[in-house]
Chains A and B, each alone.
Chain A
C-alpha cells in the first residue's frame, strides 16, 4: 500500500472538485472496511446503513496491520462513539437550541436547562465525549459529558437569541484564552524533539535564541485546560521551566513542596499562602 499514489495528487483532486466528481480508492475502502469492524460502528449507524455499507464493501479487502503493530501508553478506550453523538451533531448542524437535563457530579440531576450547543469534543486522554454548549440563562459556557446527559432535545428559539448566543460564545472563548511561557532548560536541548512532541497537542509558538541556544515555548490554551498543561509540565520534569505564568509557577512550587512532604522531606514555608491546591481548594474543575 502506497500512500503516495499519484491518484492522491493535489492537482487531480482540485480538478475533480471542480467537476463534482467523487472518487474513492481501494485503499480508502480497505481502511473504512477495517474501521467498520470496530465496535464503534454499531453505535455510529442505524442497522440498515451499516448493512448497506458492509454490502457495498463486500468485495474489498481489509487493512492487515494488527499483528505487527502495537499501541503503547494509551488510555483504555471507553467509547469512541456515544449513542447521543448522532443527535447532538444534528442539533449543531441545524444551529438549533436545546433543552438539556444532565446529572451532576454528586449524583443529583438538573432540571431542564435551555442552551445552544456549539461543539462536540472528544478527549484523546480521557476517551470521553463532551457536549460544549452555551447556557442561555447563565450566559456561560458549559461542558457536559455525553454520559451524564439524561435527556436532550431540540426546541425552537428566535433567530435573534441564537445570533446573540453565538456572539457571546466567541467573546467568552476569547476571554478564556490563557498562556504560559516555558523555557527548555539548556542542558536538555538534546531532548528538544521529545519536548516538542509532548507539546505538539497544544497551540504553540517556539522562539529560538541562537546566541544563547535557548528555546522558549509559548503555549496557548483555554483556562480550564490549565490542569492538563500542569500535568504535562510535571511529566517533562526538569527539562522545562515555566518563565511566565504566575499561577502555574506557584502550582509547580506547591507540587514540589507537597511531593517532598510525601517523602517526609520538609522545606521552608512558601511566601505566598494564597495558592489553591488540588487538596484544599477547587478553583478550577479538577480534571487532572
Chain B
C-alpha cells in the first residue's frame, strides 16, 4: 500500500473539512507542502471516488467535493469522510475480478476454485486479460483472510462460500434493527470506522427491501465531530505497536505549524519545504478527547520522558524495535499514575480546583447542575445551598479545565486556586472589551 498517499489524503481531507474552502488552490497546496499539480490530481481522484460512491444518491452527484463533505447537520447521516478508507487504488482488472468472484459466490451456493475460474473467464469481456488458476487461488486466499468468504470443510476440491450468514439469518424486521444498532453505535462510540463500513453495506440491503423509503434517515447526531474518523486511520497501527511493545517512528507536524504535510521529495524544488520532525518513541496510550474531537498519542522517550502527540500531525508511521516487557511495564505504570488526574492529557502537577456554580432562577430546571454532573468527570459537589453549589476536583494543572469552566459564563465563580481565579477575571475583562462598543 502506498502509505504516503494516504497520509496526504488524510491531511487533504482534514484541511478541506476544517477550513471549508477558505484557501485558494495555491494557498491550500502551500499549506500542505504539495505542488498545485498534486493538489489538482488529488482533487480529481477524490471527486471520482465521491462520484462512484454516491451513485445511488443522484442529488449529490453534481455537488462539488468541498460542498459534498461539508457538514450539513440535517443531512449528516452519511459521513462523507469515510471515502478516505475507500480510496485505495486498485488495478481495474483486480477490482473486476474480485467483485466477480464475490458476485458468483453470492449467486451460487458454494463453488470450487476451478468452477470460479470458468465463471470468471466466461463473464469477462473478450478484450480483457483472462485470469489464470494461480491468480484465482491467490484472490480466494486473500478473501478468506479478510473473512469475506469461508472454505467449507470436507473433501477436496475445496468449495468456497460467501460468509454472509449475518444477513441470511435475519428477517426483514431484524435487519432494520441491526442497521439501526450499527448506525447508532458507529455514531456514538469510538472506534467507529468498521461500523461505518458495515453501515454502508447494510444500508443498501435495507434499501433493497424498502425501495420507496430508502431516502428516510431517521437519526441525527447533534454536535458530532465527524473529522475524528480520519484519525482512526492511525489508531490500529498504534494499538498494534503498543500491544507488541514496539517503538514507532514517524514524521511529525505540530498542529501549530503552518504546514501539515510534506511530500516525500522527488522534486528538489520542494525539498527545503519539508519541516516535519522525525520522531522515534515508545507508544503507550491513545487518548480521544471529546471536548474537541481530537486524538492524542502518549508515549515514552528515554531522554525526554512522557511525550504527547496529536494524531493529526503524524505521518509516515512505521514500526521500529521492540522493547523489553519490564521497560514497557515500568513506563506504562508511570504514565498511568501521571494521567490519573488529567482533565485531558496534562501530566503536570495536580492542584485542587474549587468552583461555585450558581443555580438558575427558581422557576427553571437546574440545567447548570445537570451539566456539571454530566461533564464534570471525577469532580464532586461538596457543598450545596439554594442558590449555588460548590464543585471540587483534583486535576493536573488548570489549563485544560479552564475552557470548560469559562463556557458556563457568569454561572460560575472560581474560588481556588487564586491564580486561576485571577486569570479568569483577566480573561472576562478582556472579553468585555471585545464587546463594549456595542
Using CB atoms and an 8 Å cutoff, list the residues of chain A in contact with chain B: 1-17, 19-32, 35, 38, 40-41, 44-46, 49, 52-53, 55-57, 60, 63-65, 68-76, 78, 80-81, 85-86, 89-90, 92-93, 95, 105, 119-127, 132, 173, 190-191, 193-194, 196-198, 200-208, 210, 215, 221-222, 225, 228, 230-232, 234-238, 241-242, 246, 249-250, 252-263, 265, 267, 272, 278-280, 282, 286-288
Contact = CB atoms under 8 A, between A and B. Distances in A.
B192 to A, nearest CB: 8
B99 A12 contact: yes
A18 to B, nearest CB: 8
Contacts of B377: 72-73
Interface of B is mostly: helix
A52 B90 contact: no
Nearest to B70: A203
Contact of A200 (B71, B98, B430): B71
B6 interface: yes
B146 A26 contact: yes
Interface in B15-30: 17-23, 27
Given A237-B427, A286-B360, A206 B236 contact: no
Interface in B47-95: 49, 52-53, 55-56, 70-74, 83, 85-90, 92, 94-95
Contact of B19 (A9, A35, A123, A196): A196
B20 A35 contact: no
Contacts of B235: 65, 69
B148 A7 contact: yes
B221 to A, nearest CB: 5
Interface residues on B, range: 35 or more
A253 B435 contact: yes
B410 A200 contact: no
A3 B232 contact: yes
Contacts of A86: 177, 180
Given A90-B176, A203-B72, 5 more contacts: A44-B177, A80-B188, A93-B176, A127-B374, A259-B424
B53 A13 contact: yes
Interface in B209-261: 210, 213, 216, 218-227, 232-233, 235-236, 239-240, 242-243, 255-256
B189 interface: yes
Contacts of B382: none
